[in-house]
Chains A and B, each alone.
Chain A
Amino acid sequence: MSNPEIQTDVVIIGAGPIGLFAVFELGLLDLKCHLIDILDRPGGQCAELYPQKPIYDIPGFPVISGQELTDNLMKQIEPFDPQFHFSRMIENIEKTEDGDFLVTDDEGQVFKCRIVVIAAGGGSFQPKRPPVADIEVFEGSSVFYAVRRMEEFADHDVVIVGGGDSALDWVLSLQPIVRSMTLVHRRDNFRAAPASVGKMKALVDQGKMQLILGQIGELSGEGANLTSMSIKTSEEEINIPVTRLLPFFGLTMKLGPVADWGLELNDNLISVDTEKFESSVPGIFAIGDINHYPGKLKLILSGFHEAALMSQAAKKIIAPDERIIFQYTTSSTKLQKKLGVK
């Protein structure tokens, strides 16, 4: 499944508030961006952790919620037509001989670019791994946290754990092709859409699947292949056969592959200078929560400042002979043209 390589000026890893604002600052300098995020929507922590909560220290906004800030940023960068790739994790960055970077995501998509901006925040949001002994042994062969290819579940004894929409949606989609389907949830109340819950209960009544109210117990199997698991209900511990397990316990922030890119780190944060916010590898910049320098504050406003200075440095790499003229968006007709102001 190798898609054709995508070429762009800048790849931004992470579509949190800082990655989004970087599109604006880079855009004013005519640099085109592709953004990649493991989440399925923009906003990073603001959208995932506190969409409805107020932020009081965005300059010029006495109060704004995490989601409103995200929506506003998306509107602000619209003129620059950024290209988003969601539900993808960047796994690798490689430098080519001619000084470009090849950035690869977990689906094998390669982005070729001159500049990499790491705006990975507190790390990538990844599925929570249930604290069950040896679960990592089975990961990738019998235990999955997402369904990439439905065929992998065909004719298997599938157990799905959870009570939200992802859990229920996959119960309903996979049930027709599996050998057996069991949904495990800790209580008889589901967060999922009532219609999906109704369909699931109908399948249970028809004997086409089972619902067990309980919590995940122990896993056992041969090598990397899961064969059975125990489920703790309020009365007893029961054992059921399982060859495919899908636990849905939400997301948590993990540093992820950022640590493997050969960049100088300081306590798991990327060390940068405070003139250009460049990492130890020229051409790779780090802005927002993921970077470290003396005096660093993990604030959105600091990240915005970092994005502005980084963009100047990025432009100088891409167009070394071009003189950058300092301009205001208020008064520069050139900048306003880029912003689509009429």
Chain B
Amino acid sequence: MTKITFVEANGTIHETDVENGTSVMEAAIQNSVPGITAECGGACTCATCHVYVDEKWREKVGAPSDMEEDMLDFAFEVKPSSRLSCQILVNDDFDGLVIKIPEQQG
């Protein structure tokens, strides 16, 4: 199990234990973390699972693929740390990862 911390836009913190191989989006849904809609269920076609990766973790988590970067055009308030959470798969290296949730998914 890998520890992932979600921080809502209003500052509320959710600590979760996530099984490796699940996506960060699935981790949020399974743990009832609000603010992630995930309308397309992880198909990378809706951009309603937009999150910000904590600065300290950006390099380790890596950059979005081209397809994901294209979908980020449909998200709002996109920053250099923006990712679609359904495209981040949890592994041991992510223990302690901090994910911030935007104010709105649109």
Contact = CB atoms under 8 A, between A and B. Distances in A.
A129 B74 CA distance: 10
A130 interface: yes
A185 B73 contact: yes
B76 A249 contact: yes
B73 A163 contact: yes
B43 A252 contact: no
Given A49-B41, A250-B47, A215 B103 contact: no
B46 to A, nearest CB: 6
B11 interface: no
Contacts of B23: none
A228 B46 CA distance: 29
B85 interface: no
A128 B105 CA distance: 9
A130 B76 CA distance: 7
B55 interface: no
A252 B39 contact: yes
A131 B45 contact: no
Nearest to B74: A250
Interface size class of B (residues with CB under 8 A): 20 to 34
B73 A252 contact: no
A189 B72 CA distance: 12
Interface in B69-104: 69-70, 72-78, 103-104
A162 interface: yes
B46 A252 contact: yes
Tell which of B46, B75, B103 has the most Cβ of chain A within 10 Å: B46
The SS class assigned to the B binding surface is loop
Contacts of A131: 76-77, 103-104, 106
B40 interface: yes
Given A128-B106, A130-B106, A189-B69, A49 B46 contact: yes
Contacts of A215: 76-78
Contacts of B46: 49, 250, 252
A63 B11 CA distance: 43
Nearest to A53: B43
Contacts of A49: 39-41, 43, 45-46
A337 interface: no
Nearest to A161: B73
A164 B71 CA distance: 10
Interface in B11-44: 37, 39-41, 43
A162 B106 contact: no
Interface in A39-78: 48-50, 52-53
Interface in A143-180: 162-164
A130 B103 CA distance: 12
A186 interface: yes
Contacts of B40: 49-50
Contact of B74 (A52, A128, A216): A128
A296 interface: no
30 contacts: A49-B39, A49-B41, A49-B43, A49-B45, A50-B40, A50-B41, A50-B45, A53-B43, A128-B74, A128-B106, A129-B106, A131-B103, A131-B104, A131-B106, A163-B73, A164-B73, A185-B73, A186-B73, A186-B78, A187-B69, A187-B73, A191-B70, A215-B76, A216-B76, A249-B106, A250-B46, A250-B74, A252-B39, A252-B46, A252-B48
Given A185-B73, A215-B78, 18 more contacts: A50-B40, A50-B43, A50-B45, A129-B106, A131-B104, A131-B106, A186-B78, A187-B69, A187-B73, A215-B77, A216-B76, A249-B73, A249-B75, A250-B47, A252-B37, A252-B39, A252-B46, A252-B48
Interface of B: 37, 39-41, 43, 45-48, 69-70, 72-78, 103-104, 106
